[in-house]
Structure 1
């Protein structure tokens, strides 16, 4: 489906397809990352269950290993429904740096303020664990537009932070490096 939408994929997977139990997900993701030697660009995962594997996969892939992942529901993946696969391919396209839509007004530079001056549009949010989960971290995310004046391509960063902390802890900070002096760090640099 992705190829029919204009995306270029290597027909041979970088790593062999695996099937694992939910309790082996974390170990398997680390093994896959090590086996690919950092060359893995996208990991498509058919979820083993609906009991929380999605959160585990996203936490490990995005906050620990830096792997782009796309999860699919098992029943939908088995059916190979065209509409479902098209929706998944749209998600993959964006995650791989593509663009699914563009505003005609943006292309024609007719959006007030945004079209007139170089502009970055930011979004940020913090997601917290379910009630009763006292040991899991909260997840902070920041997105920003990357393609002025169209402002339709966004990049995001995800970071684990202190449990139930609403303010993003590492959004922006300046640290003092003994060799370099003041160094800008955090999610926004």
Structure 2
């Protein structure tokens, strides 16, 4: 990267947590200046406007989340261990993997009515995460860890919805007890579909 590209990346990385925490609409140019310690004129050398920067910040937050999921999953061998490991990783929404909380939820709820571009970015990430869960479970079936007649695609969608719902409840209530309960339900259901030989 040349100097301009490095500066652009610096701005994205410094402002991404601000956008994820405050939301796109509520993040002011002064917040961006504070986070980067840069003057307004310097910022607009690298970005056309706040909207362009917000799109880049959303991309960065979403990529951080999916990269962290992949890194966490790679620590485990076997589909069941991977899935359980990811559930444990996500079990405390008050200490989320990405600063500010789940960017899929944060940006998805805000962009639903305000930004088709951001909404599409979030939707694509949701699809990618759901597919990632399905891939783990499908591999588990292929490896004989789970019963071959299990409707794992339905389970993957349900698991994703329960996790996101649990994150919302935990963040609003500042209490992770319901999230822990949901994780236990998902683990129990996964165990029910384990093949007899495992």
Normalising by structure 2, we get a TM-score of 0.26
Structure number having the greater helix percentage? 2
Structure having greater relative contact order (Cα 8 Å, sep ≥ 6): 2
Normalising by structure 1, we get a TM-score of 0.27
